[in-house]
A and B are shown apart, each in its own frame.
Chain A
Amino acid sequence: MKKIIPMGLLWLGLLLAVPSLMAAEISVKDGDSIQSAVNKANTGDVILVYPGTYKESVYVDKDGITIRGVVQDGEWPVMEGEGVRNDAILYSGNDFTVEWLTITHYKGNAIMGQAGNNFVIRYNKVIDTGVYGIFPQFGKNGLIEYNVLSGIEDAAIYVGMCDNVDVRHNEVFDNVAGIEIENTRHALVENNYAHDNTAGLLVFITPGLPIKTTYDVILRNNFVVNNNTANFGAAGSIVSKVPPGIGIVVMAADDVIVEGNIVSGNKTAGIVITDLAFITDISSDPDSEPNPDRMVFLDNLMFDNGADPVADVKALMLTQFSRRGPDILANLGSAQEPDNCIINRERYTRFGVKKWSECERKDTSDILTMRIPGGAPNEVVTTENRTKLLYQGICAGCHAYNLRMIGPPTLTVQALYRNDAQGIADYIAAPHKVRTDYPAMPPQGHLSPELRREVAEYMLGVTK
């Protein structure tokens, strides 16, 4: 029988919360634990976290929870990972809000979502937290605004496999990737300040993930400045292949509109539009179309880009007798085709846009948000689709089918654990270190043994 399960119970770890009629406020003071407040909370409750240092990982697997820091006289509540904890906040419930926290020294993620809809992540300071800063994965309808993030070795803000997300007014610096919109549809990235990263804004497809497309993305009114930091991503990981000095990368994504940005001082190029070959040759996912299509490039302010491009770009530019990188670089191949368009092209130094057409659209003032009015309906979780949601919501954030992301490709896991789902289920409950050049895999002990077994079986059956 197909049974419907509340979304928050995706993990099936904690007890079922009985929704109360009155939303309550639950205070957490220095020395208390945020997790025990979450355990007590019901849908609609607000957890107020007072200034203090909180050394814990918090799991939120219920709907409608708000965690709100209370900042008093400039004193913030601080979540401190001490370089040993993996995630600060991991949520799977819908209608989750987290705000006004300082999060630092976690190894994995500061705030990670696993398949929750209608999330709001704002007013947080995230400093030096390992792999990803803010990472909603597989959620619909979200808002990420007024966060400041730095020192992250992959993406500071990583919107992965989501739909209908606004990313506004954030500052991201000293990261490898500033803001990443990956395998995501309908996103507005607006009024952000991305500086001193390896690359500032990235809109792309990673092949080998359950969601195969990225389209309908607006990059508007952002400052994208001096993104020249040497790439310090984990050697061998896909992000480690991003060349330094790029303001904006649009890779394989479709229907991207770029308007009103100030893009300057990026030493390789202001914006690169390219197919997947830019980062890897492995684009063998039959369902991911590798070319960027229908890019719309409206008015932007671009100057002083390309002062000292990486070797590949320099070689390309030499064919045009220049040693400098351009403001706009449409890489060889389909990125140069006339389905892409531009206005006032003469203002920019440019490569490969000769065939681009003139845009009919001149601005995007008619589009205020990509979020869904009234919010996204809750995902219906059943005993049948739960495992798939679990895999997509958790595992696929690090394991792509045939690419190295954070974890080893699913293909290699399938070779190692053929016919041994239990082996996977046991490993993920308490992972030990296997590879010198990969980070540690975060334990999934909050999943019940049955769920671990089911998700393991699912992983062994993934085919692309």
Chain B
Amino acid sequence: MKRLALLLCVVLAACSNDNVPDVSSEKAAADALQVLQQSSSADGKALYAACAACHGAKGEGNVALSAPSLVNQQDWYLFRQLNGFRSGLRGSHPQDGYGAQMQAIAKTLPDEAAVNAVVSYIASFSAEPAAKTLDGNIKRGADYYSNLCGACHGPAAEGNDKLQAPALAGVDDWYLLKQFDHFRDGIRGADEADRYGYQMGMMGKTLPDAETAKDVIAYIQSLAD
């Protein structure tokens, strides 16, 4: 039965199930919450101990738990996302299971100082582009990227802090594709109060189909090599 459901998921390519954390990831979350509830310090390293189970000891991410690498992101973006989770701007949509999980964890960070501290600690890791997992038509992807995405994310997908558009190159391709789909479908960034998420939500509707989105993400992945 479970296999059938899984198969259906693959065939339909969009089923809400893929967004519900499974048992092992729920356990990791519970552990993290416990660690965080006990820590009150603004010691980034100590706080990060609660993140490592999912995001990896060196911030490299863990695809089995749907947790992205954090080392290829700019610190201002990590900071803003953590605050977005904390305020409920991100991770509140009923279909955003993993977002909700991360929201619960972010809310347990004791205060702003703790957010700052854990981000600074993550910033001390060295960037390491995530491995490629998707195939797509890179040439076609480059065409769409340079016309529609580069204006905010930059020519090499290096991000643009003036526009608060994050770096994409180096971030896990499976994660980027999923986030793109979430923006397109209104699972992330649908709240008008989420200024930057809403911007990206508008852009999520500009690619003609899912195939093109994959091409674009495959192109972004190729920029990291």
Q: How far is the CB of B21 from chain A (nearest CB, A)?
A: 31
Q: What are 7 of the A-B contact pairs (CB < 8 Å)? A: A281-B140, A411-B203, A415-B152, A415-B202, A416-B163, A418-B198, A434-B163
Cβ–Cβ contact B146 & A236, under 8 A? yes
Bound complex: CA of A437 vs CA of B157, how far in Å?
A: 12
Cβ–Cβ contact A281 & B148, under 8 A? no
Q: Across the interface, which residues of B come within 8 angstroms of A236, CB to CB?
A: 146, 150, 155
Cβ–Cβ contact B140 & A412, under 8 A? no
Residue of B nearest to A432 (CB): B162
Interface segment among A22-30, A386-394, A402-410: the answer is A402-410
Total residues of chain B contacting the partner, CB 8 A: 21
Secondary structure at chain B's binding surface: helix, strand, loop or mixed?
Answer: helix
Residue A344 interfacial (CB < 8 Å): no
Residue B38 interfacial (CB < 8 Å): no
Bound complex: CA of A236 vs CA of B151, how far in Å?
A: 10
Q: Across the interface, which residues of A come within 8 angstroms of B203, CB to CB?
A: 411-412, 415
Task: Indicate which residue in B143, B151, B162, B199 contacts A408 across the interface (CB closer than 8 Å).
Answer: B151
Q: Across the interface, which residues of B come within 8 angstroms of A402, CB to CB?
A: 147-148, 206
Q: Across the interface, which residues of A come within 8 angstroms of B94, CB to CB?
A: none
Q: Across the interface, which residues of B come within 8 angstroms of A20, CB to CB?
A: none
Residue B179 interfacial (CB < 8 Å): no
Task: Indicate which residue in A409, A414, A434, A436 contacts B155 across the interface (CB closer than 8 Å).
Answer: A436
Q: Across the interface, which residues of A come within 8 angstroms of B206, CB to CB?
A: 402, 411
Cβ–Cβ contact B162 & A281, under 8 A? no
Q: How far is the CB of A323 from chain B (nearest CB, A)?
A: 22
Residue of B nearest to A208 (CB): B147
Residue of B nearest to A419 (CB): B192
Cβ–Cβ contact B148 & A437, under 8 A? no
Task: Indicate which residue in A282, A411, A412, A418 contacts B143 across the interface (CB closer than 8 Å).
Answer: A282
Q: How far is the CB of A311 from chain B (nearest CB, A)?
A: 11
Mark B123-165 against chain A: 1 for CB-CB distance below 8 A, else 0.
0000000000000000010011011101110110000101100
A238-B147, A409-B147 are known; give 14 further A-B pairs, CB within 8 A: A236-B155, A280-B147, A402-B148, A404-B146, A408-B151, A411-B203, A415-B199, A415-B202, A415-B203, A416-B152, A416-B199, A418-B202, A434-B163, A438-B151
Total residues of chain A contacting the partner, CB 8 A: 23
Q: Across the interface, which residues of A come within 8 angstroms of B151, CB to CB?
A: 404, 408-409, 412, 435, 438
Cβ–Cβ contact B154 & A436, under 8 A? yes
Q: Across the interface, which residues of A come within 8 angstroms of B148, CB to CB?
A: 282, 402, 409, 411-412
Residue A235 interfacial (CB < 8 Å): yes
Secondary structure at chain A's binding surface: helix, strand, loop or mixed?
Answer: loop
Pick the most buried of A284, A416, A434: most chain B CB atoms within 10 A of its CB.
A416
Cβ–Cβ contact A435 & B160, under 8 A? yes
Q: How far is the CB of B189 from chain A (nearest CB, A)?
A: 11
Residue of A nearest to B146 (CB): A236
Cβ–Cβ contact A412 & B152, under 8 A? yes
Mark A175-194 against chain B: 1 for CB-CB distance below 8 A, else 0.
00000000000000000000
Q: Across the interface, which residues of B come within 8 angstroms of A238, CB to CB?
A: 147
Q: Across the interface, which residues of A come within 8 angstroms of B162, CB to CB?
A: 434
Cβ–Cβ contact B155 & A437, under 8 A? yes
Bound complex: CA of A409 vs CA of B146, how far in Å?
A: 10
Bound complex: CA of A284 vs CA of B144, how far in Å?
A: 12
Cβ–Cβ contact A282 & B155, under 8 A? no
Q: Across the interface, which residues of A come within 8 angstroms of B144, CB to CB?
A: 281-282
Bound complex: CA of A281 vs CA of B202, how far in Å?
A: 21
CB-CB contacts below 8 Å: B200-218 with A: 200, 202-203, 206, 208
Residue of B nearest to A282 (CB): B147
Residue of B nearest to A417 (CB): B199
Bound complex: CA of A410 vs CA of B1, how far in Å?
A: 49
Mark A429-447 against chain B: 1 for CB-CB distance below 8 A, else 0.
0000011111000000000
Q: How far is the CB of A430 from chain B (nearest CB, A)?
A: 15
Q: Across the interface, which residues of B come within 8 angstroms of A418, CB to CB?
A: 198-199, 202
Bound complex: CA of A330 vs CA of B152, how far in Å?
A: 36
CB-CB contacts below 8 Å: A209-250 with B: 235-236, 238
Bound complex: CA of A281 vs CA of B141, how far in Å?
A: 10
Pick the most buried of A403, A409, A415, A436: most chain B CB atoms within 10 A of its CB.
A415
Mark A280-310 against chain B: 1 for CB-CB distance below 8 A, else 0.
1110100000000000000000000000000
